[in-house]
Structure 1
């Protein structure tokens, strides 16, 4: 069996509307009363004073202290005592003495010891004997030809070969007692530095037969021509 809701009457609807109007009329009044009660409670409990204190800015007090005054003592002029001047001694003038004039005398000059002694003539000094001159060192003489033990072997420079350089270099060689080339000078150049240097190195590697004079080897100079020719 189903229960049916009670029917809504016109009187009930009218009562509900009157109640809603009264509630809307008293709602602002209730809010004002609640706010007054809350403010009164804040004043009694000190909460309002703490909020105002926190909102106020902090005031900092700055005091300026003036520096102490320095007293300067007035300068007092010094008193300097002046010494009294020392009086000068007064020297009385000397009395004048009359001197009788004497006759002038002439004294002949006495001869000095150097003038009395006879002048000794200095004897002529003998010329110093000339010191013996040291013998002049013997200069190696230049010979026309020498014999080879090992003849110079010419090495044609590759650069000179590519450039087509050729010519004859004449070397002045000092051969010592052992037959070694001790000094090599260029007497006549080929006109090319590479060929001259190649000839000098070839002569440096050569070996000569020593020159014998009076049964002993002596150093000599010899002119050696070396020819570079392209084949």
Structure 2
């Protein structure tokens, strides 16, 4: 038995054109059908209440917060009013005893004598004024030390020339007024005449402070004296 071979029908140009036209129509119908399906689904959701549940689920939950006012502070208790208590027993009244009577003896009349006048009074004795007392003699005031022209030295003054004055070329003679006490020590040193330079005047004063003098003897007794002491500063 011979097998029959099935051959597909031949594809013509008209068939290809019809298929292409049907493909284009189908591509246009697909979006329209999708839009129609979406509308149908939305209508169904509105009718069944599904859309309202979705919107309710998407909306945030509103929480109601109640603000409670703080409790009022407790009112302080009113002060206690003292009670009025009536006394059952009457208050006894104070009884004042009568004062005793004192018998006063009658007095006899007295006679008052007149007072004597000033003229009749005894004369007042007068005392003689006391003689002025003689003031006690005051001690003699201490005598001021006199100024002498010269004194003898035990250790003569040795002035030291200041280095700064030497570099600056300062020179001159300072005259010092020196108070020499009973022991021959310079007790007070004053500038009688300045050199015009403080450094030279101070150097002369320090030199006189280091000097030692012989005490001034008068009537066999050492006395303080003033002396004018010149000291010369000269650059050699």
Aligned partners of 2:119, 2:37: CA distance in 1, in Å? 158
Question: Which range moved further: 30-39 or 43-52?
Answer: 43-52
1: CA distance between counterparts of 2:217 and 2:10? 172
Cα 1:45–1:180 shift into 2, 3 Å? farther
Alignment of 1:30-49 (within 5 A): 30-43=33-46, 46-49=49-52
Instruction: Evaluate the alpha carbon distance shift between residue 111 and residue 41 of structure 1 in structure 2; reply closer, same or farther with a 3 A threshold.
Output: same
Q: Which residue of 1 aligns with 2:25?
A: 22
Deviation at 1:212, TM superposition (A): 3.9
Counterparts of residues 157-196 of structure 1 (less than 5 Å)? 157-196=162-201
Inter-partner Cα distance in structure 2 for 1:159 and 1:43: 119
In the alignment, the residues of structure 2 paired with residue 148 and residue 45 of structure 1 have an alpha-carbon distance, to the nearest angstrom, of 144
Deviations 1:127-166 (A, max 9, x none): 0221220232243333332222221112223444444443
Separation in structure 2 between the aligned mates of residue 37 and residue 9 of structure 1, nearest angstrom: 41
In structure 2, what is the equivalent of residue 152 of structure 1?
A: 157
Structure 1: how far apart are the matches of 2:173 and 2:120?
87
- Alignment RMSD: 3.7
Figure out how many residues of one structure are paired with residues of the other and give that number.
Answer: 179
Aligned-residue offset at 1:183: 0.5
The more displaced of 140-149 and 156-165 is 156-165
Distance apart, 1:58 and its partner CA: 9.8
In structure 2, what is the Cα distance between the partners aligned to 1:217 and 1:59? Answer: 123
Task: Show structure 1 runs of 5+ residues with no match.
Answer: 1-5, 62-109
TM-score normalised by structure 2 residue count = 0.59
Q: 1:114 to 1:226 in 2, by over 3 A?
A: farther
If the length of structure 1 is used for normalisation, what is the TM-score? 0.60
Query: How big is the shift at 1:198?
Result: 1.9
**Do the aligned partners of residues 21 and 224 (structure 1) sit closer, same or farther apart at CA in structure 2, a change above 3 Å counting?**
closer
